[in-house]
Amino acid sequence: MFKNRYRVVVAILLFLAGILNYLDRAALSVMAPFVKKDLVLNDAQMGLLFSAFFIGYCVFCFLGGIAADKFGPRKVFASAASVWSVFCGATAVVTSFSQLLFVRVLFGMGEGPMGTTNNKSISNWFPKKEVGRAVGFTNAGQPLGAAIAAPIVGLVGLYYGWRIAFVIIGLLGLVWVVAWLFLFRDKPEDHPSVSQEERDLIVENRPASIATTDDGVEQVQTSIWTYIFSGPVLGIASAFFCFNYIQFFFLSWLPSYLVDYQNLDIKSMSIIGMLPWLGATVGFLGGGIICDFIFKKSNNFLFSRKVIIFVGLVIAAIAVFATAFAQSMWMAVGCITVATIFAYMTPQACWSLLQDIVPANKIGSAGGFVHLLANLAGILSPALTGFIIQYGGGYHTAFILASAFAFVGIIALLILVKSKKPAEPVGA
């Protein structure tokens, strides 16, 4: 079935990892009404708990990327998934705010390498013409995980208790680790099940670029910082940060918004809360397909990615802003769903564009740094939203602020990502 297409197996493994990754991290937001009541927490404390995850996460985005370059994605992903699964399960035994805060930081450390190791795996396993679809498909598992978190985690928590839900999710992660170690190798050259034909196709058409001078001579790059501080890479990181502000705003606070502001019960929230994440899944898949289609027609890799990021963030910004003024629950959910469809077209464009700018031997480290900067939004967005809800202008103000961040990302994209010249640091 997979003759000359073993990379499909790799894509499925990464897709399933994305489902589990976001099922894990969405679980606390879905269980928030139960956890708040059981541990006697307020909205500001919940915001800090959501953000605590990203303290460990951001640091290990960068360290995980460096490790993926040094040790390979197979070992790094297996280690990371094992750690995050154990500490997701450990959530079930906490009895206080401080304990949960500690577990969330360690949980975030485990999940940190996921994005960059995923990108490193795709860089190693897919030819350039398939990168957009590969990133789109594999990352589509993430919002799908958030979508199924609402009914699965919500209903398990409702009938068996919120602690049991975290144990079950942790066990699922450990099952995936076994499959990953059995089926995956760092490169197709290392895997006995990959045909010579497929191996040649991938090796001869890998996406990561090699920096050259104007006359086409390969440049000798001695430091990863040359790439990290270039205008295009910082522009991608800025756009990614602003997308993440919206993503983590919804991932952390959407269930509470539906229960506390729109007055839904847990059962109704578990079903209706799926819709924006199903929309996000469509956005991930559609964005990757459209990226590759535009590249095929224009033969301009930079343009094909940049236009998707621009359109995605513009429409997402408008839809998030409209949510603040929605007159009904269905209107609000409709606006949020439109926002997620278009917002989630942008991350795969960011990842695949980065692969075209940074050489293969540095894609893990550079991607890790971009992911670190982008996921600082995970520290800012949930905590700031919690304080706004608790002490400021409520959800109305929170939606307007999230919309503003999307426009900031658009401006950064237009100013900084003008070419793919990684050897030109900002200000040079």
Length of the chain: 428
Mean pLDDT rounded to a whole number for the chain: 84
Answer yes or no: is pLDDT of 175 > 90. Answer: yes
Show the tokens assigned to 116.
């960059």
Which of 39, 35, 165, 24 lies closest to 108 in space, CA to CA?
Answer: 24
3-class secondary-structure state, position 359: coil
pLDDT at 216 > cutoff 50: no
Does residue 352 contact residue 135 with C-beta atoms inside 8 Å?
yes
User: For the chain, percent helix, then strand, then coil, each to nearest 5?
Assistant: 80, 0, 20
Q: Which residues pair with 218 in a beta bridge?
A: 212
Q: What is the pLDDT of residue 230?
A: 81
Confidence of residue 76 (pLDDT cuts 50, 70, 90): very high
φ/ψ of 104, rounded to 5, equals -65, -40
Q: Does domain 7-187+201-416 have CATH number 1.20.1250.20?
A: yes
Task: Please give the single-letter amino acid code of residue 417.
Answer: V
Residue 342 has pLDDT above 90, yes or no: yes
Distance in angstroms (rounded) separating the CA atoms of residues 352 and 417: 14
What local confidence, expressed as pLDDT, does residue 420 receive? 55
Q: 10 Å Cβ neighbour count for 210?
A: 11
**Torsion angles phi and psi, residue 209, rounded to 5:** -90, 170
Instruction: Please give the distance of CA 90 from its chain centroid, rounded to a whole number.
Output: 23
R_g of the chain computed on alpha carbons: 21
pLDDT of residue 426: 47
| Cβ neighbourhood burial of 419 (10 Å; 0-12, 13-18, 19+) | exposed
Q: What would the two tokens of residue 205 be?
A: 């058409």
